[in-house]
Chain A
Amino acid sequence: MNSESGKHRVRAKLETRAQELTERLELQSVRSCYICRTCTSSCPVTFIDPRFNPLAILRMVLYGKIEEVLNSDFLWLCTSCYSCQERCPQEIPIADIMTKLKNKAFKLGNAPVGVRAQMDIIKKAGRTYPLDDFDNKKRAKAGLPELPTSCDVVKTLFESETESLK
């Protein structure tokens, strides 16, 4: 019995932590959700991979399961198309919330390998698809101007941004 009630104290503490986290990330707007399911119906990702379900993610945040979301891989399936956010009748900024959650997950070191690799490419090349001399030769043949193969400005911007994320 005692260990039982001890477990509940742990659970209550976890709840409090989840609540604090929700407030720190300013996600209180999820409270006004009335489960109309417009977000899920609009989501092109849910259509292909039902593991990503915006409504379920909002509910998990509301029910104190935010850490489960932050540890998940499905969070990263969001394409930030903003369909859910545009259509939400309660004006919950769902896509923005996903971004906030991804940022927090990144800070916790939960970003998947692919996302981190992508980040490294952008850091190096200033874009997700790195250009090299071969590309510029092809461009010259097609009469197109040459493009820089690296972008220091983006790199600088990126570094200061990741700094703030840490």
Chain B
Amino acid sequence: MPEKKDEELRIGVFICHCGSNIAGYLDMEALEEFTKALPHVVFVQRNLYTCSEGGINEIKKGIVEQNLNRVVVASCTPRTHEPLFRNSCAEVGLNPYLFEMVNIRDQCSWVHMQEKEDATEKAKDLIRMGVAKAALLQPQEPIMSEVTTRALVLGGGIAGMTAALALADRGYEVVIVEKQDRLGGMMNNINKLGPSMINADELVSQKIKAIDEHPKITVFTNSELAAVKGFIGKYKVDVKTGTGTKNIDIGVILVATGASVFTPKGLYGYDGKHVITQLELEEMMKKGLDPSIKNVVMIQCVGSRNEDRPYCSRICCQVAVKNAILIRDQNPEARVSILYRDMQMYGVENEEMLRTSKARGVRYINYSPENPPKVEEEKVQVYHPLLGEELELPADLVVLATPLVAREDTHDLSQLLRVSIDENGFYLEAHVKLRPLDFATDGIFLCGSARYPANVREVVAQALGAASRASIPLSKGSVVVEPIISVLANEDACRGCGLCAALCPYGALEIRETEKGRKVHVIDVACKGCGVCAATCYQHALTINSYTDDQVTAQIEAFLGG
């Protein structure tokens, strides 16, 4: 319901006791008396819990009966409760953006428990500032944008294939872009998958067959992403294929580009023949291990958990244990020793696999990084801290467990997609626990070893999860965005310098040629309202809805005027 400009301001303030969280430390009666005297405030009420059903009804009743056109709640944190209070306003017909929240708990009563008088004074300041801002609030309408129901999956490994199938089975079109000449990724080089010991080939060919037969999936091999424009629901991507560049409209993007294996050049006499990586061993095992190999020594943490790569690659211990068991299977006479720093065998079945390997006679020898094993001709020397002496192990084959590392093109791709990468070069999720499969940028999702080394089981789970996350905007067909975003409030002031566009972390700003010259354009769906652009703009041309210069100035003046 549009508000009339000249309408009389009627502000209602609801002060929350939050049980004793606030009322136990502030003088609530004094606060109420003080608030009643503030300009435009026509109604003040205290509640035990404003967020309770009763408290919410009081807000609604106040709006209807007192004909309030601005609502202020002085209580806890907007992080948890602002949406609830906004909805309550909307339910009785008040535009939810005419609501303002004041935090007198986390930022006042909780931190000043010993100083009741001063804390009450501070709460008064906070409420006065909130009321001053509320007086200037303007109604806003949520922004809607349509979503193209087509997903782009970057990477055709096990992660990409699983995610693509999950999305396509829900009826969405999927485009897979794979750099190599065939699907499968690193799985093509793997022998068997632990702990179930099924053939990797079987799983891969099963997935490839399903993809080939799926009418909703288009696969581009020998291809890569060349350009990305747009925002959630409306991406325009250029895919460079062997035959030319294809321009495709995309709704959501899934990054499933995987990782590569670190090559241990110059470490432990690596030569690719007698001293090999676990991945090379996989290929060897696929063909069948040379029966003359009687003594195998595996060394863990080669090139990881050091200064260059401080992280644990997590999956190498499982791979080593699996391969040790498989070597004993293929060649029961072979002796396998695993030299390790710590065994990373998380999960019930992996732990069981470790026990099985021990029972099958695989020997585990601890080494410390200060005193690493020495690989010599046909033998490995390792200092055993417990026995306090060097052990000499005969070795026909030395296998180095090297970590998964971020792919070389991760940096370029992250720039293209405007997403973050972490200190190890892997892609960085929006939140490690709360949003592990999303990027901070809406509409782009993440799964598999591109995020962090993961075993196939985890990759599949992540891929299904990411597909599920990506399905949300696809199934809704549109995205609704908070209108608290950047707006070009003063078009004439904008000089089109582009500083804001360069700094925007979400790619939400672009400079366009208009009749009036170069001007910034806000892609409202992509904007998160962070305010970087408005703070940067020399000309004060940009501003943020609900955080306009006027509103913020009014708050500051209210504070100083106290």
A residues neighboring B (CB under 8 Å)? 1, 4-5, 8, 11-12, 15, 19, 28, 31-32, 35, 55-56, 59-60, 62-63, 65
B363 CB contact (under 8 Å) in A56, A60, A62: A62
Known: A32-B359, A62-B363, A63-B391. A11 touches B386 (CB 8 A): no
Which residues from 313 to 371 on chain B have a C-beta closer than 8 Å to any C-beta of chain A?
335, 355, 358-359, 361-363, 365-366
Chain B min CB distance to A90 (Å): 9
In the complex, A8 Cα to B394 Cα: how many Å? 6
A60 CB contact (under 8 Å) in B362, B366, B387: B387
A31 CB contact (under 8 Å) in B359, B384, B391: B359
Chain B residues with CB under 8 A of A65: 387
Q: How many A-B residue pairs have CB under 8 A?
A: 45
Chain A residues with CB under 8 A of B492: none
Q: Does B216 contact A (CB under 8 A)?
A: no
Chain B residues with CB under 8 A of A28: 359, 361
Interface string of B289-311 (1 = CB under 8 A from A): 00000110000000000000000
Chain A min CB distance to B350 (Å): 14
A63 and B394 within 8 A (CB): no
B residues neighboring A (CB under 8 Å)? 294-295, 335, 355, 358-359, 361-363, 365-366, 377-379, 384, 386-387, 391-392, 394
Chain A min CB distance to B353 (Å): 14
B386 and A55 within 8 A (CB): yes
Chain A min CB distance to B283 (Å): 26
Known pairs A4-B377, A32-B359, A59-B386. 11 more at Cβ < 8 A?
A: A5-B378, A8-B379, A8-B394, A11-B392, A12-B294, A31-B358, A35-B366, A60-B387, A62-B363, A63-B365, A63-B384
Q: Nearest chain-A residue to B354 (Cβ)?
A: A34
B384 CB contact (under 8 Å) in A4, A5, A12, A59: A59
In the complex, A130 Cα to B394 Cα: how many Å? 52
A59 and B387 within 8 A (CB): yes
In the complex, A4 Cα to B361 Cα: how many Å? 27
Chain A residues with CB under 8 A of B392: 11
B378 CB contact (under 8 Å) in A8, A56, A62: A8
Chain A residues with CB under 8 A of B394: 8, 11-12, 15
Chain A min CB distance to B398 (Å): 13
In the complex, A94 Cα to B335 Cα: how many Å? 24
